[in-house]
Amino acid sequence: MIKKHIIAVLAGVAAISAPSCDLDEKFYSEVTPDTFITSPESTYAVLCRPFTHWKWYIGADRWYLQELTTDEMVCPKRGSDWYNGGEYYRLHYHTWSPDDRFIVNTYDGTTGGISRALEAKADLQAVDYNAIGLDDKVKADHINQLNAITAYFYMRGLDYFGGMPIYYSVNDDLRGRSTARETFEHVETLLKEAIPTLTKKTTLGASEDGYIKQAAAAAMLAQLYFNAVAYIGEERFEECAKLCRDIIGGVYGTYDLDDTWYGPHSFDNNTSPEVIWTVPSENAKLEWNWYFKYFYHYSAYEYFGSETAGYNGFMLTPSLDPQGRYYNQWKLGNTYRKFHDKDLRKKPYRYLGNGQYEGMFLIGEQTNPNDPSKQCLGQKEYSGKVINLVDQVARFSEVGSKYNSVAELTSTMADGEENSGVRLVKSPQPDLDDIQLRWNPDCPVIRLTEIYYMLAECEMRAGQKGTAAALINQVRARNFENREDPDPVTADNLDEYRMLDEWMIEFLGEGRRRTDLIRWNKFTTDAWWDHTPLGDEEQARNLNLFPIPNSAISANNLIKQNPGYTGYNPQ
């Protein structure tokens, strides 16, 4: 078992709990290693520990840091709601501190994932697999599942914080931070060791179950190389491109692009041919449901015709000013506007029955499209009125009282109302007739489209814009009627901003935007709605990493702070 003092530091100050799972989508309750590793099923339960943590880790605070700090999403103050001590302001304005809970939880969650993986690895390494009806090949697969998930957590730590303390064994004493390059190389080594021993998917559309297969580990290695400039200041795009071509070519398993835009996100998306790695989810068993309610209005259950109420918080960054004019002063943001009007995803969300649906957004008057008697009514500024969601942020309800006209309205993080903003429905919601489908969509963590887009960007950076455009257009076509794209990517229109737009509209809400902006040096240098870059070049560069929480430094005085934050000591 892992040393208790290591667990206390790695897992963080706060205890993190989540329902346990099995990677085969069999669902178990509690795992006690000393009594449980006596059968094939018990080995999977032990293997599950870091994956259960991973399920929690994929959402919540990590999503906030990846989305609400960017041009893609925002959580404005809505009257008396959502100020929360200014924590969402600090994300949007890039004024966070080492004590902000989203940062603390992310650091603790990252190191907690590493500690759980190391502990599970130590437990399973001590098991005689042959004695419990398994074999050494299965054991090697399990150990390398844990190597790969360890690499995943270290790569996320590298992305958020830079160099991390590297532990190789449950018996290691406390350590200080390694350099970013050392952390990078540790991730690279773990993945290269794991890939050859992992299973390979051989049947197109076979159900994904949370297991890390060869393609998932290879995709993680591609991600590492893809962002190497940000991580270690070194271009590794050629190595990324080679991995991407091999994944697309089937070297690491059998995958293909889905025929539809909604296939990778639908109620049965675990069988989408393009899904490479997903967080399993199933109604009333292991539900991946954390973030959906944060988008929806309090009365959204009327619009959906189901039980899906919301907290009325997150929204797409607005495209229109209070007077209804498009923002044209910056190239980033304007999220909803970036979708072409003929894009099938741009339709208002509507559940069609039998697991079928259309559209990806809530916008306009929130009357149930299947039953006009059901209306989403306001509870705050528009109490008793049908909510009309607008692609704007302003205090329209105060025109005639606080403001004389719309022309006087401001549009900032402080100016939201309950109807402000377009809302995302990336994961579909059924009505009450099909309520058993609710939360059945898995969370796609890696899908083949990402591999196409990584390869496209690598080709673009290599000067092959025509090849890059063709790769993107293979995906874009499915978003339009009869696959007729009115605005395809071309060698002439593909620049860094068009590439970032393509990443945005394809992966909207999938928790990656900050990383993409950093790779293009836009995260701390470009402006978007109510966001102006802070400081000089050095300050901007420092903000590409989050601070190490003070609680982590207090728990282990070998840990040093990142540059640009209080407590940093270059010595």
Give the highest mean pLDDT range of 21-35, 231-245, 273-287.
231-245
* Mean pLDDT of all residues belonging to the chain: 92
Please report, rounded to a whole number, the percentage of residues in the chain having pLDDT higher than 70: 94
- Delimiting residues of CATH 1.25.40.390 domain(s) in the chain: 1-78+91-198+531-571
The number of beta carbons lying within 10 Å of the beta carbon of residue 340 is 16
Per-residue pLDDT at 35 exceeds 70? no
pLDDT digits 0-9 by tens, 137-147: 999 999 999 99
Give the model's pLDDT for residue 8: 38
What's the CA gap between 241 and 228, in Å, rounded?
13
pLDDT at res. 389: 98
Q: Strand, coil or helix: what is 389?
A: strand
At residue 571, the pLDDT reads 61
* pLDDT tens-place string over residues 466-478: 999 999 999 999 9
pLDDT digits (tens, 9 = 90+) for 321-349: 999 999 999 999 999 999 999 999 999 99
| pLDDT confidence band for 304 (50 / 70 / 90) | very high
Q: Which tens digits make up the pLDDT trace of 351-396? A: 999 999 999 999 999 999 999 999 999 999 999 999 999 999 999 9
Query: pLDDT tens for residues 43-95?
Result: 988 999 999 999 999 988 999 999 999 999 999 999 999 999 999 999 999 99
- Phi, psi for residue 173 in degrees, rounded to 5: -75, 170
Report how far residue 414's alpha carbon sits from residue 286's, in angstroms, rounded to the nearest whole number. 37
pLDDT digits (tens, 9 = 90+) for 425-439: 999 999 999 999 999
- Say how far apart CA 571 and CA 549 lie, in whole Å: 19
Lowest-pLDDT range of 8-17, 126-135, 486-495? 8-17
pTM of the model as a whole: 0.93
b/e code 287-300 from CB counts within 10 Å (16+ = b): ebbebbbbbbbbbb
Instruction: State yes or no: pLDDT of 16 exceeds 70.
Output: no
Considering the four listed CATH numbers 1.25.40.390, 3.30.460.40, 3.30.565.10, 1.10.3720.10, the one that applies to the domain covering 1-78+91-198+531-571 is: 1.25.40.390
Band of pLDDT at residue 313, cut at 50, 70 and 90: very high
Give the pLDDT of residue 308.
Answer: 78
